[in-house]
Structure 1
């Protein structure tokens, strides 16, 4: 391989050996015993060319029934019912505001009536007390002469 006249230089290199890691064994799936009455029947079908295919008959999957959609959407029904309810309430609200306005006018008139009655009672008390007082002093003023800021009664 090498010519005899050439010198061969060998170098030692570190060799790393990788050992494969064994895979974890996967346990086999548990076998579920099937009742003899539940085993489906094996069916054989003969094709036109003479071949025979044997297998289990599989029932075709039935699609789930689609829920029938209503003719009118629920949102539209809810909006309509809300409008009907609001219309029914509006008449009551008008009557309520009318009742509150009438009650406020009644209270206002009662306050005015009380002020008139109480004011009249006070006026009667003041004017009748002045005319019926027995301890009042009566002063008759006759001709008086005022000279130089001095009163001279006659």
Structure 2
């Protein structure tokens, strides 16, 4: 009696058959609207009979169609916008280059004026050194008192 079965359990302790209960759906109750509604606003009730004999009742819904999206082409093409932005950038660079060239021209004029000023000051110093009376200089001094010139010859 307590001999094991093919499944490893002793005989006499078999389990009872399992019963499966499938619930039967209830028929939907028809309810009235809670608040007062306009007669034209109540949608029609539709009933559908399923293949197994059940009846499904509900309101029909009209599918909502979205508004068509109107795509308007942009007023200005992207290429035109890119060209315009490139032009603005070019003008900004040109303005900077104009300022840079103006600065370089002013710097060149300043350097030129400083060179001229140095030349004038240095040249004046040299002139004072050459033509200034700063004492006797070495060399031969010739005093001419009466000079006689005969036949293109100088007799002193």
TM-score of the pair, normalised by structure 1: 0.46
TM-score (norm 2): 0.46
